[in-house]
Structure 1
Amino acid sequence: MHTSLIIPTRNAASHLDRLLPALRMQTLQPNEILVIDSASSDDTVARFREFGARVHVIAAKGFNHGGTRRLASELVGGDALIVMTQDAIPATPDTFANLINELQLDPLNGVAYGRQLPHPGAGVLGAQSRHFNYPPQSCTKRLADAPVLGIKTCFSSDSFSVYRRTALQAVGGFPVDVIGSEDAYVAARMLLAGLTVRYAASAQVYHSHDYRLMEEFHRYFDIGVFYGRETWIRHAFGDIGGEGKRYVLAELRALRQAHALHRAPEVVVRSAFKLLGYRLGHLERYLPNSLKQRLGMFSTYWT
């Protein structure tokens, strides 16, 4: 299977001392590496070119989570498109090989996404986010699972995933214009088309964030914008409300296990800010762009 690796970048230099050696040690080497760089001001472009990647530079204001990945998919020739972010670091030499192997377990698998482990030194809550969304067991998700899994049925992550090109093309490719969550968009389209989504726990990367309070708010504002616009996803798979309650309970359990229950009020406040951001995102059509630039994480989307 001809494999292409796609990495969108923006000032990625701080990650490259870990990322480039991890890419070099992979037992399965992609047939080509394409970096889509959003006008980095550091040495990202030079270092990737020295590494042997093809680098396509775009204007920073031209970046779009769906549209840029769509452009990248049209610039490569792979049957399998590995898509990852600049801060996702392969954890083992077999990370790519295992991801491809799990995709190929079933011809109906349209996308497989890997397991994300906390970066070394991640905080309790940042690590808990990875443990909650990326358990140690692989699974295959189908449309028939929606009554049980709800919105998690179409959960996928372009921080580290692989798309079967034929399946991606069958559902129209990456969306041209979304504020984020293009991975959930494509996964939902695939499920509705009768394809399956594979969670590949054997393919592991280090990828986590210790978001500050307002960063959580901004992130959930963008998520609210996405689901407020893509109502067909909520109609097919449900809203994120029930999943949010499970997440809060899991955070409290993690704090108890870490003997840090004194931080429980922080979880409550964070959850309130997430909910507020999400609800405001749903109401974005009533807000001026100048305000949305300040409310969201992807501020250039509104320019």
Structure 2
Amino acid sequence: MNQYTVDVVIPTYQPDITFITLLERLDKQTYPINEIIIMNTEESFWKESDYPEQMNRKVFHLFKKDFDHGAVRAEAALKSKADIILFMTQDAVPKNKYLVENLIKAFDDNDVGAAYARQLPRINCKMIEAYTRNFNYPGNSCTKSLEDIEELGIKTFFCSNVCAAYRKDIYMELGGFERRTIFNEDMIYAGKMVQSGMKIAYVAEAEVIHSHNYSYIEYFKRNFDLAVSQKEHPEVFENVRSESEGIKMVRQTAHYLYKNKKSWMIVDLILQSGFKWLGYKLGKSYNKLPRELIRRCTMNQTYWEHQ
């Protein structure tokens, strides 16, 4: 395995005990981490005394009005001098001490520009969400390139900044994350990277614990924002098949529930899928909607204040 320097970037907002666990497990990784760069929103919520002092941690504060999914990460990338930048979210916890080591192995292939980890459900994760985690993050690793678009469609570009590492020189060469985006900065960049001829590695052996139990409305809003991000970047998403993968996931989840004698949960699956679909469809037509309706549909109110 090649030896690279690695920095970790974590945006935070009102971090809780999960974030402390994340830091503790990063400190125990078998692969050395050069610096942990924390981009914290709203200094008033940051209590230095909550976190044990470490020489390799740097904390930068910003106002909530200045937060942007892409810009904050792009700014952090400029602060890093490492060969590889590993982006994580404050609620993703490494399963074990081999997370970084396993991710970095993917870069032994010089054509790999990004590598992302497997996300495992939390203990309290609902059954449908747990299954869809396994659908999106299966137990087998793979590498995706431009040649896979016909078969995989938009999933070719799938890459999650919940836990994803990027080769710094390629990142800078391609311009990095969009500095203004409602959401989905990882896939927008990954799409451009694949179009440039680079590959994305999914590393199933690199595992983080991360899941959400969203309500129907939260699923609606999340998918609205997802669709907005795709609509705003036709250069990446316009000619790539996207909806068939979602249909496939719903069918397989319904079969899984039936097989496990949880048929009554299929009603929940249908409602959840309906809210996702409606949010996505409205998001794809956001430019035709009145501003007040958009504000009711989005998870990211701040984004629309600057439109």
Q: TM-score category by the smaller chain?
A: over 0.9
Give unmatched runs, 5+ long, in structure 1. Answer: none
Cross-structure match for 2:73: 69
Query: Which residue number corresponds to residue 255 of structure 1?
Result: 257
SS of residue matched to 2:53: helix
What's the offset of the Cα at 1:59?
A: 0.5
Normalising by structure 2, report the TM-score.
Answer: 0.93
1:299 alignment counterpart: 301
Aligned counterpart for 2:50 among listed residues 47, 62, 67: 47
167 and 137 in structure 1: CA distance in 2 versus 1, 3 angstrom threshold: same
| Closer/same/farther in 2, CA of residues 51 and 288 from structure 1, 3 Å limit | farther
- Pick one of 116, 125, 129 that aligns with 2:119: 116
Flag the 1:182–1:48 CA change in 2: closer, same or farther, 3 A.
farther
Contact 1:13/1:43 (<8 A) preserved: no
2:257 and 2:212 map into 1 onto residues whose CA distance is 17
- Name the residue aligned to 1:89: 93
Deviation at 1:41, TM superposition (A): 4.3
**Aligned equivalent of 1:56, options 52, 57, 60:** 60
Letter in 2 for 1:291: L
Q: Distance in 1 between matches of 2:48 and 2:297?
A: 30
Displacement of 1:297 in angstroms is 1.1
Counterpart position of 1:275: 277
- 2:9 aligns with one of 1, 6, 10: 6
Corresponding residue pairs, total: 301
Asked if the contact 1:125/1:210 (under 8 Å) is kept, the reply is no
Q: Structure 1 residue 199: deviation in Å?
A: 0.5
* Residues 167 and 278 of structure 1, relative CA distance in 2, 3 Å threshold: same
Taking structure 1 as reference, are residues 236 and 171 closer, same or farther at Cα in structure 2, changes over 3 Å only?
farther
SS for the counterpart of 1:237 is coil
1:84 is matched by which residue type in structure 2? M
1:181-228 superposed Cα distances (whole Å, 9 cap, x missing partner) = 111111111111010011111111001111111000010000111111
Q: Aligned letter for 2:128?
A: L
Identical columns (%):
34
Structure 1-normalised TM-score? Answer: 0.95
Whichever residue aligns with residue 267 of structure 1, its letter is L
Q: Which one-letter code corresponds to 1:94 in the other structure? A: Y
Contact 1:292 1:299 in 2 (8 A): no
Aligned residue in 2 for 1:180: 183
State the Cα distance separating 1:22 from its structure 2 match: 1.5
Q: Specify every segment of 5 or more residues in structure 2 that has no aligned partner in the other structure, as ranges.
A: none
Separation (CA, whole Å) in 1 of partners of 2:291 and 2:215: 24
Range with bigger deviation, 283-292 or 86-95: 283-292
- Displacement, 1:271? 1.1
- 2-structure distance, mates of 1:46, 1:287: 46
